[in-house]
Chain A
């Protein structure tokens, strides 16, 4: 029930179903879940949690970029500000981790509303530039504001006790909390993509003037998806701050925005599983190639060039094309 379609030279696998999750996708989700449950017993849990946080971050951006057709180059603003708020809430206010994460996410939602409201008035490259400009303002605020700790960031954030009862000091127990957050986030994003709202979103991505001519007030939809995307990016950032016990300028810096775009493109924009793969590849590279120092950036750059030149649909996009099924 699938087919390949060609527009502007790029190929994409089109879904043809009634909206329920196809069996093979359920299988992939379950396999991922099983892998994630087993993984911390073989691999370093903190590394895995980092992968999961970035996977969620990339999925958040993919919701906006792959399904809303909007390229934000300032998503670090949401990731980073949520990290700061959650770190501050946990450290200074002494709140439990789940409350800190919720507050961080809410902060990103509010920021998403404000930035989104202004950014969606422009399209294409201008939209990207506006989001970048706002993200740089957030970066500057993080550098200057008294509570962010400037260059040092907020360090030694306590992981606290979940619901004030379960200690999160062991990596393993925190791992399963992060697992729940990540999978919850992924399933929520999946549902958004496959909702009546998601359907309108795809129509706007495909042909905005036509969507308008059918009576859709497209800016409201764009704003809504922008806020949702910012919220999930915030959820990822807030969780990351608890995992690493740190919120720093790196989280709000423009290179973070670039990195997550890279993850989405490498994995496969507009696919369900692509951002996960992209995030896993990039984070793994950063971790295992860390000994190369500054060379990591160059290696990343080369991979990006190769992926754009050879497989524009991204890793998962290419696989989806081969098996002729949307992934």
Chain B
């Protein structure tokens, strides 16, 4: 169980004199749900962007499954099985729910540069796409365009799309942001279910969700790791309490 799947060493990102992420060391162990929490502006999302190379780190190294991915492109990292979601729901609005999932399934063909072929050949992914939609409770919306779905359903669609890649590790950026309570419960259960044979790293503000789901929590504040441990340990840590409630931030 001590097998580290994703590790960041001395991860640093500077934006013109402002240090957003400052020497973060992070170790995510295989099979865990690892949460990254911290007050606003702590550098959580920047950290996420660095890990998936949507931003390039100023310093530091990232290894995934023992492989140095610091210099790789975002798309190539995704191809290794490390797939991220986004804070704002990331769907393809003018495609149907089915097509959204199919875009991910289509990745199995490798690159799709065959512009001379009819997209009819993609219908062989339909069945699997439908079963993924069923898994997140969107069966009846298969032919609805993504932009017409409610916010919670868009998030569910996003998860179905991500799962279609069958990633080894998921990075979820605030999966519950802006969600109604009923949706929160549904997605929590969904994350629990999909975590069965995967590793998940998530940024989340909803502490009850974090408490329910995660095995390990890393608390970030002002770009640095403040504390790490399980929920009980972290929530008792006076520095964490101070960062969240006390003076000194904002």
Tally of A interface residues using CB under 8 Å: 38
Across-interface contacts of A3 in B (CB, < 8 A): 144-145, 148
A215 touches B107 (CB 8 A): yes
A192, B75: Cα distance in complex, Å: 23
Find chain A residues with CB under 8 A from B79 CB.
215
B66 within 8 A of A: no
Query: Hey, what's the 0/1 contact readout for A61-92 against B, CB within 8 Å counting as 1?
Result: 00000000000000000000000000000000
Interchain CB contact (< 8 A) of B115 among A209, A211, A220, A224: A224
Stretch at the interface among B21-29, B85-93, B177-185, B227-235: B85-93
- A1 CA to B145 CA in the complex, in Å? 11
Most chain A CB within a 10 A radius of its CB, from B76, B109, B117, B145: B145
B83 at the interface (CB under 8 A from A): yes
The residue on B at minimum CB distance from A217 is B75
How close is B113's CB to chain A, nearest CB, in angstroms? 6
Contact across chains for A5 and B75 when beta carbons are under 8 A apart: no
A199, closest chain B residue (CB): B119
B99 at the interface (CB under 8 A from A): yes
Q: Known: A196-B109, A196-B114, A215-B107. Is A7-B147 also a contact (CB below 8 A)?
A: yes
Do B92 and A16 have beta carbons less than 8 Å apart? no
Instruction: Write the A207-240 contact mask toward B (1 if CB under 8 angstroms, else 0).
Output: 1011111111110110010001000000000000
The answer to whether B73 and A19 have CB atoms under 8 Å apart is no
Instruction: Point out the residues of chain A lying under 8 angstroms from B116, CB to CB.
Output: 191-192, 195
Residues of B within 8 A of A218 (CB): 75
B86–A209 touching, CB < 8 Å: yes
Whether A195 and B78, one on each chain, are in contact in the complex, defined by CB atoms closer than 8 angstroms, is no
Cβ of B153 within 8 Å of any chain A Cβ, yes or no, is: no
Q: A5's contact among B84, B90, B93, B122, by CB below 8 Å, is which?
A: B93
A12 contacts B165, C-beta separation under 8 Å: no
A324 at the interface (CB under 8 A from B): no
Q: How far is the CA of A37 from the CA of B112 in the complex (A)?
A: 36
Q: Say if the beta carbon of B120 comes within 8 Å of chain A.
A: yes
Residue on A with the closest CB to B118?
Answer: A19
A192 to B91, CA, bound (A): 22
A-B complex: 4 closest residue pairs judged by Cβ atoms: A215-B78, A19-B119, A197-B115, A206-B92
- B residues contacting A by CB (< 8 A) are 52, 54, 73-76, 78-79, 83-86, 90-96, 99, 102-104, 106-107, 109, 111-123, 143-145, 147-148, 161, 165
What would 28 A/B residue contacts be, using CB atoms closer than 8 Å? Answer: A5-B93, A6-B147, A18-B123, A20-B118, A194-B119, A195-B115, A195-B119, A196-B106, A196-B121, A197-B113, A198-B115, A199-B102, A199-B103, A199-B119, A203-B92, A203-B95, A206-B94, A207-B92, A210-B91, A213-B52, A213-B85, A214-B78, A215-B76, A215-B83, A218-B75, A220-B111, A220-B113, A224-B113
Give 18 A-B pairs besides A5-B93, A206-B94, A217-B73 with Cβ atoms closer than 8 angstroms: A3-B148, A18-B120, A18-B123, A195-B112, A202-B92, A203-B95, A206-B93, A207-B92, A210-B92, A212-B54, A213-B78, A214-B103, A214-B107, A214-B165, A215-B83, A217-B76, A217-B111, A220-B111
